[in-house]
Structure 1
Amino acid sequence: MLDETLTYALIKVMKAHRNELAAALIPLGLHAGQELLLNQLWREDGLTQGELIARLGVEPPTVTKTLQRLERAGFVFRSPDPERPRVGRVYLTDAGRALREPVEEIWLRTDEELLKDLTSEERELLTRLLRGWPRCQFHS
């Protein structure tokens, strides 16, 4: 019976979509989810870990682990805030900045794959429904 619910269908779609995205990110040296943190830095470099946690809506250990992996890969570095030395800020390296275009291309291709069998009206409706979902917060 559970497999007949809309929730089940949504979870299956989300997992398949995320697995496809994750596979496309591997050649860039990224794990799924890391691009979301990088995206926040592409929008505003030099955020604090607390700001990243708030923007991503995830638990602190998730951001800590993601930052550690991104640092080891050479995509970000942490540095004390010059005005508040006890506050650490996260900055992109040149390698981290260089990932923006290929990651955005992957996301656009993945979107196209997801939407390829929908009419333009269906695409518009799905976009409107998902962006208007009350439990989701989209950060601009």
Structure 2
Amino acid sequence: MPFSKDTSAGYLANHMARLFANGLARRIAPLGLAPAQFMTLLELWAEDGLTQAALVERLDVEQATMANTLARMQRDGLIERRAHETDRRARCIFLTDKARRIEAPAIAAAEAQNAAALAGLSAEEQADLIGLMRQVVATMRREG
């Protein structure tokens, strides 16, 4: 199969990711969120009190990108930073009540985006796609 944008996994994954992000952005904008903030909140809703370094690792983003996202989230009243209990250099990121209140509507918005995007696939095809995407992500993380 000759290489083209229609046969390139990277091109298609990037295009799909942009479309997902744009759809999610539209759905979470009424909550005052951007996609990068939502990704960060997903990690903190699962485990509050992570360090910035842990968030960088879990989300596969640059340190500067995470610092900017967290600064906006703090400005918007979604997080607060507290001293780490054992590492004086580290700060832990904790959710505010405001962030906890928007968890359910934000998750619902993401579920709606996923449902809309995958509506053309059967349940089995959706499961296959998600499984394959997980495999690719795991492979790329190992390859660095």
TM-score by length of 2: 0.85
How many percent of aligned residue pairs carry the same amino acid?
A: 32
> 1:7-61 deviations in whole A, cap 9, x for unaligned?
3333322211210111111111111211111111111111111111111111100
Paired residue secondary structure (1:118): coil
CA–CA separation in structure 2 for the residues paired with 1:33 and 1:41: 13
CA–CA separation in structure 2 for the residues paired with 1:118 and 1:47: 36
CA RMSD of aligned residues (A): 1.8
Per the TM alignment, residue 4 of structure 1 is displaced from its structure 2 partner at its CA by: 3.2
Per the TM alignment, residue 136 of structure 1 is displaced from its structure 2 partner at its CA by: 5.3
TM-score by length of 1: 0.87
2:140 corresponding residue in structure 1: 135
CA–CA separation in structure 2 for the residues paired with 1:33 and 1:68: 12
Of 22, 25, 38, the residue aligned with 2:28 is: 25
Aligned pair count reads 137
1:62 corresponding residue in structure 2: 65
Determine if the alignment matches structure 1 residue 90 to structure 2 residue 81: no
CA–CA separation in structure 2 for the residues paired with 1:93 and 1:128: 33
2:6 corresponding residue in structure 1: 4
Paired residue secondary structure (1:132): helix
Determine if the alignment matches structure 1 residue 34 to structure 2 residue 26: no
Letter in 2 for 1:79: R
Please say if residues 27 and 110 of structure 2, whose CA atoms lie closer than 8 Å, have aligned partners that are also in contact: no
Letter in 1 for 2:7: T
Per the TM alignment, residue 106 of structure 1 is displaced from its structure 2 partner at its CA by: 1.0
2:77 corresponding residue in structure 1: 74
Paired residue secondary structure (2:34): coil
Letter in 1 for 2:56: I
Determine if the alignment matches structure 1 residue 101 to structure 2 residue 98: no
Letter in 2 for 1:6: S
2:51 corresponding residue in structure 1: 48
5+ long unaligned stretches in structure 1? none
> 1:76-124 deviations in whole A, cap 9, x for unaligned?
0111124333321111100011121111111111111011111223222
Change (3 A) 1:5 1:71: same
CA–CA separation in structure 1 for the residues paired with 2:92 and 2:123: 42
